Structure 1
Amino acid sequence: MDFDILRRTMIDTQIRTWDVLDPRVLNAVAQVKREDFVAAPYRHLAFADFTLPLAHGETMWSPKMEARVVQELDLREQDRVLEIGTGSGYLTALMAQLAGMVHSVEDRADLSRTAADHLRTQGVQNACLHIGDGSEGWADNAPYDAICITGSLPVLPDIFKQQLTVGGRLVAILGTGPAMGVRRILHSRPGVFESSELFETEIPPLRHQPLPAHFVF
């Protein structure tokens, strides 16, 4: 299979049509070999327009969603990024192409090790993988200029906003299935956060997520 032709077709027919037009993001997608992050039995489907399975019932996002979220994060070369849920490491690699450093947290040690191998193969040196529970952010390297949460949450815990720099951007999938929305949050000035709804989707929940408060009347 000619993966380069398939990658170009993916960019032209899936990613561009989802309003991903930032040349930096398109270049990152063209440079990072997605087929090398996909489990071997699904390698021939690396550029298909749907999610792909990982171990433990986890999934890779569709290519167009990965690219759209990276564009919405508006990454710059000096940015420090937090990713919650390393998965295959592909999204980590895309963000590392555009940012200064990506800190990625994964609670499954075997997934983190496999992702580390993928990133090493790609020559990615500005990504630091952590094994642990990222459901309340990752305070060790805070604050961050951008945060991407790859599992869905019923509501966004305030701790994530507290770990975002002024001017920082956060993308999270909020709600419960099947009605989930992808939300972008901008920390526009101290203590002020502006939100915008991007699109609807449905993805598995983030593990260990804090439960929303229940009110008893």
Structure 2
Amino acid sequence: MVDFSAARLNMVDSQVRTNDVTDLRVQDAMRVIPRESLIPPGKAYLAYADAEVEYAPGRWMLAPRDVAKLLHALAIQPGERALAIAAPYAAAVLEHAGLAVTRLDGEDLKTPPAGEYDVMICEGAVARAPESWTAALAPGGRLAVIERAGPVGKATIYARTETGLARRVIFDATPRHLAGFEPEQGFAF
């Protein structure tokens, strides 16, 4: 029998805090949210491993380190409006931290629900963040996503500024691609 409470604490101490995630809202949420409840019971033992875990066919939660670092980089604030794209665990963390969260986990992930969002996060790799996602950012809004066109992805933060859209790479990661967001294959000699 797995002691999930102890596993949660160990996850935060060994995978989150050691990777420079100092946002106490993120740490506190990750200490109490039962990650195992978001995945099929037969895979619950993997919930706190340093790995991605499949929560639905073709959908994977990011490894704890990666999702924590993305959430930390977003500098979340209670009361902000958030969009979680194929991101059930990130959504739960954001809700625990006091954000109003809309979840997008259906067939059409490229079209966000109407409105503007202060915070957006995706728990799967995309070749490049769709323009429809960045267009849904409110002024001052931030999008955290891992862009992966090759073997290694780049965790990226987009921010809507007064002068346009800023983009900054924050760390390397190699999560699986979301279905429909893979890089286009081209012909080369």
> Percent of aligned pairs with the same residue?
26
Corresponding position of 1:198:
170
Structure 1 stretches (4+) deviating beyond 4 angstroms?
209-212
Is the Cα–Cα contact under 8 Å of residues 135 and 207 in structure 1 kept in the other structure?
no
**Alpha-carbon distance in 1 for matches of 2:16, 2:170:** 15
Q: TM-score, normalised by structure 1?
A: 0.76
How far apart are residue 145 of structure 1 and its match? Answer: 0.3
Task: Indicate the residue corresponding to 2:147 in structure 1.
Answer: 174
Name 2:18's counterpart in structure 1.
Answer: 17
Please give the alpha-carbon distance, in whole angstroms, between the structure 2 residues aligned to 1:100 and 1:41. 31
Structure 1 residues not aligned, in runs of 5+: 108-131
CA RMSD of aligned residues (A): 2.1
Pairing 1:136–2:111 present: yes
Please state how far the C-alpha of 1:161 moved relative to its aligned partner: 2.0
When the two structures are superposed, what TM-score results if normalisation uses the length of structure 2? 0.87
Unaligned runs of 5+ in 2: none
- Compared with structure 1, are the counterparts of its residues 41 and 48 closer, same or farther at alpha carbon in structure 2 (3 Å cutoff)? same
Q: Going by fraction, where is helix more abundant, 1 or 2?
A: 1
Q: How does 1:21-60 map to 2 (within 5 A)?
A: 21-60=22-61
CA–CA distance in 1 between the matches of 2:183 and 2:4? 42
Write the distance in 1 (CA, Å) between the matches of 2:182 and 2:150: 17
In the alignment, is the contact (CA less than 8 A) between 2:58 and 2:178 conserved in 1? no
Q: Which amino acid aligns with 1:135?
A: K
The residue matched to 2:57 in structure 1 has which SS? Answer: helix
Q: Distance in 2 between matches of 1:5 and 1:150?
A: 24
AA in 1 matched with 2:21:
V
Deviations 1:47-79 (A, max 9, x none): 111112233232221111121111122221111
| Shift, 1:210, TM fit | 9.4
Q: Does the 8 A contact of 1:78 with 1:100 survive in 2?
A: yes
Please state how far the C-alpha of 1:149 moved relative to its aligned partner.
2.2
2:5 paired residue number:
4
User: Does 2:127 align with 1:154?
Assistant: yes
Quote the residue 2:161 is aligned against: 188
* 2:108 alignment partner AA: D
Per-residue deviation at 1:104? 0.9
Contact map agreement 2:149 2:182 (CA 8 A) in 1:
no
